[in-house]
C-alpha cells in the first residue's frame, strides 16, 4: 500500500474532483485514492470506495455545464466495529472514531465553492476542444464561461473566445471567484488581436461609463494600459490620472505613470514611479506579485540607463498577463 490521498488537503480534494469528472469508474478512482492497486483487499477499501462514489456524484462535468450531478446521496458504508478507522490512525473503528463519524467529516463533506471553482478551471484547461464544444452553455457559471473562452483563445479560436467572453460579460457577472477586471482587460486585448481596435476602445469606454462589478478606476486603468499598448501615450494620460485618483496606492497605477514619464524620456520621474510601484506591490495577490516585479524591474533598469521603453513586437506579443490561478487562501473551511 502506498500513501492514500488525504482529502483534508484542498489541492488534493481538487485533483480528486478533476479526476472524478473524467471518469465513471468507481473502482479506478478508489484505487487512486487509496494509492493501492489491490484496494479491494485493503483495510480502508470501504471508506475509499465511499469517497470515490461521492466524488463522482459531485464532480463538475463538462457535459453538464460543470454543475454537479443531481445530488445523489451516497449512503455511508457499513463498516464493522473491528474494521480500520477511516482517519488512518491504524486503530480499530470501535477504539477510535466509532460514534463520532462527524469528526472525520472532512472527507465526507462537500468541496468548498473555491475548491469547486478551482476544479472547474482545471477540468476546462485539461479538456480537448471536442469535449468543450459539447458543453451546455446555458448551465455554465460566469467563471466556467470565462475559462471556456480562455481555452478557445489558447487554441487560436478567437471568434469563439470573444463570443463566449462577451456572453459572460453581458451576463450577471455574479461569481465570487471571477476576477472581472482581468477578463475585461482580456476582452479588449483579444479584440485588438482580432484587428478590432476601435471596438476594443469602445468596449472599455462603455465599461467605464457603466461599470458593473468593478470600480471605475479599474476600468480607467485598463484604458490607460490599452492606449499605452497602442503607443498612444497622450490618450493614456488622463486615464492614468483617473485610475490614480481612484486608487492612489495601487502599484500598477504607478507603473503606468512610470511608463508615461518613460515615454517622455523623463528618466528620473519614471524611475521614481517604478520604485513606488515596487514598494507597493506587497498588496497584490501573490500570483500577481512576481509578474509585477519582473515587469517593473525591467522598466526600472531601462529608465536608469536612459533607455527608451521597450517596443512591443508586432505579432504574438506574449506579454499578456498570465492568467491568475485561483488560490484558496481567501477561504478556509
Ligand atoms: Zn479514527
Instruction: Report pLDDT digits (tens) over 278-332.
Output: 999 887 777 778 888 888 999 999 999 999 987 655 444 444 444 555 544 443 3
Determine the pLDDT at residue 291: 83
State the pLDDT at residue 132.
Answer: 97
Whether residues 103 and 192 fall in one domain: no
Residue 269 sits in the same domain as residue 184: yes
Full-model pTM: 0.84
Whether 168 is in a domain gets the answer no
Half-sphere exposure of 179 (CA within 13 A, CB side): 16
For residues 183 and 300, state if they share a domain.
Answer: yes
Domain boundary residue, one of 89, 115, 141: 115
Place of cell 484505487: 31
> What is the residue-wise DSSP string for 47-94?
HHHHHHHHHHHH---GGGTTPPPS--PPPPP---TTSBPTTS-SSBGG
Cell numbers of 163, please? 463570443
Residue 157, helix vs strand vs coil: coil
Residue 139 within any structural domain of the chain: no
Give the separation between CA 7 and CA 321, rounded to whole angstroms.
Answer: 32
For 58-108, write each residue's pLDDT tens digit. Answer: 899 999 999 877 666 777 778 788 888 877 788 888 898 887 766 555 555
Residue 108 Cα to ligand 1 midpoint, Å, equals 14
Domain count, the chain: 2
In angstroms, the CA 233 to CA 308 distance is 13
CB within 8 Å of 27: residues ≥ 6 apart: 39, 40, 49, 52
- 193 and 295 together in one domain: yes
User: Cα of 224 to ligand 1 centre, how many Å?
Assistant: 58
271 and 195 part of one domain:
yes
| Owning domain of residue 101 | 10-115
Q: Which of 115, 133, 157 is the last residue of a domain?
A: 115
Is 134 in contact with 171 (CB distance < 8 Å)? no
Angle between helices 180-193 and 216-229 (to 10 degrees): 30
Ligand 1 midpoint to CA 57 (Å):
25
Distance 97 CA to ligand 1 centre (A): 4
Q: What's the pLDDT tens digit per position in 134-188?
A: 999 999 999 999 999 999 999 999 999 999 999 999 999 988 889 999 999 999 9
Domain co-membership, 196 together with 293: yes
Do 183 and 105 lie in one domain? The reply is: no
The residue written with cell numbers 466556467 in the block is 144
243 CA to centre of ligand 1 in angstroms: 55
Same domain, 107 and 189: no
State the distance from the centre of ligand 1 to the C-alpha of 249, rounded, in angstroms. Answer: 50
Q: How far is the CA of 79 from the centre of ligand 1 (A)?
A: 12
| 328 falls within a domain | no
Residue 85 CA to ligand 1 center (angstroms) comes to 5
Q: Determine, yes or no, domain membership for 62.
A: yes
Assess whether 206 and 297 both reside in one domain: yes
pLDDT at 2 over 90: no
* Domain edge (last residue) among 67, 99, 115: 115
**CATH code, 292:** 1.25.40.10
Residue 291 within a domain: yes
CA 168, 247, 325, 167: dihedral to nearest 10 degrees? 10
Distance CA 257, CA 323 (A): 23
Q: Is residue 283 part of a domain?
A: yes
Mean pLDDT of 201-212: 96
What is the CA(47)–ligand 1 centre distance, in A?
12
Measured in Å, residue 98 CA sits from the centre of ligand 1 at: 7
Q: Is the torsion defined by CA of 297, 300, 306, 307 positive or negative? A: positive
Distance (Å, whole) CA 234 – CA 149: 32
Nearest to 181 by CA among 122, 127, 222, 238: 222
The stretch 187-216 carries a mean pLDDT of 96
pLDDT of residue 133: 97
Phi, psi of 92 (to 5 degrees): -70, 150
5-52 residue pLDDT tens: 888 888 999 999 999 999 989 999 999 998 888 878 777 888 888 889
Ligand 1 centre distance from Cα of residue 43 (Å): 13
Q: Which long-range contacts (CB under 8 A, 24 or more apart) does 310-318 make?
A: 312/229
291/186 same-domain check: yes
Q: Where are the alpha helices (DSSP H) in the chain?
A: 10-21, 26-34, 45-58, 105-108, 113-126, 129-132, 142-154, 158-170, 180-193, 197-209, 216-229, 233-246, 251-263, 267-280, 286-304
87 C-alpha to ligand 1 centroid (Å): 4
Question: Does 208 map to a domain?
Answer: yes
Q: Collapsing DSSP states into helix, strand and coil, what is residue 152?
A: helix
Please check whether residue 124 lies inside any domain of the structure.
no
Amino acid at each position: 500500500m502506498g500513501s492514500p490521498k488525504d482529502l483534508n488537503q484542498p489541492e488534493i480534494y481538487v485533483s480528486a474532483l478533476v479526476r472524478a469528472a473524467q471518469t465513471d469508474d468507481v473502482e479506478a478512482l478508489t484505487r487512486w485514492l487509496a494509492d493501492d492497486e489491490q484496494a479491494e483487499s485493503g483495510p480502508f477499501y470501504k471508506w475509499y470506495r465511499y469517497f470515490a462514489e461521492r466524488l463522482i456524484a459531485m464532480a463538475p462535468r463538462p457535459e453538464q455545464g460543470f454543475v454537479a450531478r443531481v445530488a445523489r446521496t451516497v449512503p455511508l458504508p457499513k463498516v464493522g466495529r473491528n474494521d480500520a478507522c477511516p482517519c488512518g490512525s491504524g486503530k480499530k473503528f470501535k477504539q477510535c472514531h466509532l460514534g463520532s463519524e462527524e469528526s472525520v467529516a472532512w472527507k465526507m463533506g462537500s468541496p468548498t465553492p473555491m475548491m469547486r471553482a478551482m476544479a472547474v478551471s482545471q477540468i476546462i484547461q485539461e479538456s480537448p476542444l471536442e469535449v468543450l464544444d459539447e458543453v451546455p452553455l446555458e448551465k455554465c457559471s460566469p467563471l466556467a464561461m470565462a475559462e471556456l473562452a480562455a481555452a478557445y483563445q489558447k487554441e487560436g479560436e478567437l471568434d469563439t473566445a470573444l463570443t463566449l467572453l462577451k456572453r459572460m460579460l453581458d451576463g450577471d457577472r455574479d461569481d465570487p471567484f471571477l476576477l472581472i477586471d482581468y477578463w475585461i482587460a482580456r476582452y479588449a486585448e483579444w479584440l485588438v488581436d482580432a484587428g478590432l481596435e476601435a471596438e476594443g476602445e469602445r468596449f472599455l469606454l462603455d465599461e467605464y461609463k457603466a461599470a458593473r462589478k468593478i470600480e471605475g478606476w479599474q476600468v480607467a486603468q485598463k484604458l490607460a494600459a490599452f492606449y499605452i499598448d497602442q503607443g498612444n501615450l497622450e490618450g493614456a494620460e488622463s486615464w492614468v490620472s483617473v485610475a490614480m485618483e481612484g486608487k492612489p496606492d495601487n502599484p500598477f497605477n504607478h507603473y503606468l505613470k512610470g511608463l508615461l514619464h518613460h515615454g517622455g524620456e523623463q528618466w528620473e520621474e519614471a524611475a521614481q514611479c517604478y520604485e513606488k510601484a515596487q514598494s507597493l506591490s506587497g498588496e497584490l495577490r501573490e500570483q500577481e506579485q512576481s509578474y509585477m516585479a519582473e515587469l517593473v524591474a525591467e522598466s526600472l533598469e531601462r529608465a536608469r540607463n536612459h533607455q527608451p521603453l521597450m517596443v512591443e513586437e508586432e505579432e504574438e506579443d506574449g506579454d499578456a498577463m498570465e492568467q491568475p490561478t485561483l488560490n484558496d487562501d481567501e477561504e478556509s473551511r
